[in-house]
Amino acid sequence: MSKEDLWTRSAVTVAALLGLALKLFVPDRMDMTAVALLVLALVPWMSSILQRIDTVAGGVVLREIKKTQAGQQQEMDRMKFLFEHLVPREELRHLQALADGTPLPYDGGYTRPLLDAELRRLIGVGLVERRPGRTFAEMGETGDVQEHFAVTDAGRAYLEILNGYRARE
């Protein structure tokens, strides 16, 4: 607050208080004029008082908002962790290939036993389903996983959420 501003406020307050004091010494004491003079004495200071009240109240609200945001950020970080680690990398590759329609060849040697276990797990969590009439036994020694399995709606939703998290990074 500048010196001129302080002087103006003080002058208005002093003048109003003098008017009020004179009014109080008159026989009919407090009336509307006295109340008006009292209000006039307080007016120059109201902006400072209201600004302080607003700052204190705003600070409390701002702290609550920051606390809520911090809690929400922690929750989002936990969810992101779960989404990223629910499906291991190799299973995620299978899921993405099934969703994209990318060929996913297999052979009966090394890849087949691992592939069966990965596909069973994806089926177990509801991200992949067998195509109608298809079984693991019918897969044969070689082929394409696309012929036997498909991504579920839950699997597509999972990929969208996971890709959304990754896009924000």
**In this structure, which topology does domain 87-168 adopt according to CATH?**
Arc Repressor Mutant, subunit A (1.10.10)
Distance (Å, whole) CA 1 – CA 69: 35
Give the residue-averaged pLDDT of 137-148.
89
- Structure tokens, 105: 């060849």
Question: How many whole angstroms separate alpha carbon 143 and alpha carbon 120?
Answer: 17
Cα 94 from Cα 21, distance rounded (Å) = 89
- What is the domain partition of the chain in residue ranges? 3-66, 87-168
pLDDT band of residue 137 (cuts 50, 70, 90) is confident
Given this model, what pLDDT does residue 125 score?
92
Q: What is the pLDDT of residue 54?
A: 63
Please, which residues have CB within 8 angstroms of residue 141's CB and are 6 or more apart in sequence?
A: 107, 108, 112
pTM above 0.75, yes or no: no
Say whether pLDDT at 111 is over 80. no
Percent pLDDT > 70 in the chain is 69
CA dihedral 116, 119, 123, 129 (to 10 degrees): -100
Kindly report, residue by residue over 30-70, the tens digit of the pLDDT: 566 666 766 667 677 667 666 666 666 666 677 778 888 88
